Structure 1
């Protein structure tokens, strides 16, 4: 097995281990897109694990995120510098974070710059909100935070669709799509986040306000996919949206999440369309 083939196999394995929402739709993409979107997801998940780590002090997280952001801005990612950066904490990080450089290697060279750019902006934004201890006081704060941690995923995917076959999508709608998915996650994980002292609901907002925010942004996701004609890209975008909407319904009904059977039935229904 060649080096690239081994890296691609490792990427698929790590992707399956780390992603509940995107693993299935990524597997439905054609080969070039599968590697590209898989690489992009793993890069962003790598830094997400730094932001979310429960044992690292805030100052350490900020330093690691900003330093990684700076490395991603360079024309060529310095793998040795990255390893030196994370080595003091290597035992704390999962494989997806330790191998950031590998995920960049499986991405086509003519799109990897866009992925590095979006991931770099995300890392800086995560550092900013880590420094603020994720205290979201206004809707503007919520919009900014969800842009950094999820809207940028939408921006990056729109860049990939454009690169792949000139599929044009609206970037503002893409950001709304990301925000909608993130808002659903925030609602689902509200108690868990509270246990670690994090509150993502703005001052004066109720849980119902967060449901409204999620639904408004998922409406933008519905409009976003109207411009997509390429079938495997369309399927990729439809599945997370459908799962998010059904998760929202489950949460409103007092359930913690969708059942595995419900997830499988939702995916099967989309594939039959």
Structure 2
């Protein structure tokens, strides 16, 4: 049963993550299972926030309710009852939140649940505000909930399972940098759904600077890493983010698949 669930989780990761699937597969077995569980739990919430047809009130209701379910012993039946009216709209990764929680090793599951709960609560808050980012503080708050928090959770996992201590403030910056690059890459899609993550008075160049400054702090974060599989996990998305910035600045929408694959091969095969 557990073996089948692990296979399902890896298939779901491959379907839902362009950036993190390969880095997760490179982690040591226990780290791999833990981070796969955490990613899918958070992806389950992300799919609600980003859904094209759900209205803001429904997003708020589902995210806040899911956040509460994650605060205590997870009741899968009650969670399914919550989602039932929206089952046709929501993807499998969201419906199967209970499976992803059950995949997580016992020593990390409360951390993963608590982090996912906090993320869902923050997403609900910003959905209710229709993602109206007024200033730098708003941008920092939003990017904390959807990405910086992930960095902190991962740092907790690195320490708990691999004994690798890292700086939590730099972990937040690492996550923010990756998220800011996603914002830059997805600006056209966001515009089409009437959402802008640029604070009032900011230009696109300001967001590039925000992304680059946080990615630079992400480089500092990596200096604390001493586990090769964790180094690979963190280095691949960071390198892809920096190369994506270069592609965007040159007028391209994103890196090509060949460029992505070549970059990953170079990182995996380089000597430490």
Inter-partner Cα distance in structure 1 for 2:120 and 2:219: 28
CA RMSD of aligned residues (A): 0.6
Partner of 1:118: 115
Inter-partner Cα distance in structure 2 for 1:165 and 1:55: 41
Q: Residue 180 of structure 1: which of 177, 181, 193 is its match?
A: 177
Inter-partner Cα distance in structure 2 for 1:60 and 1:257: 32
Secondary structure of the residue that 2:177 maps to in structure 1? helix
5+ residue gaps, structure 1: none
Inter-partner Cα distance in structure 1 for 2:16 and 2:264: 19
| Structure 2 counterparts to residues 1-273 of structure 1, below 5 A | 3-74=1-72, 76-273=73-270
Aligned residue-pair number: 270
Shift of 1:166: 1.1
Shift of 1:271: 1.1
Inter-partner Cα distance in structure 2 for 1:260 and 1:173: 29
Shift of 1:200: 0.4
TM-score under structure 2 length normalisation: 0.98
TM-score under structure 1 length normalisation: 0.98
Secondary structure of the residue that 1:227 maps to in structure 2? coil
Q: Deviations over 1:86-108 (max 9, x none)?
A: 01100111110010000001100
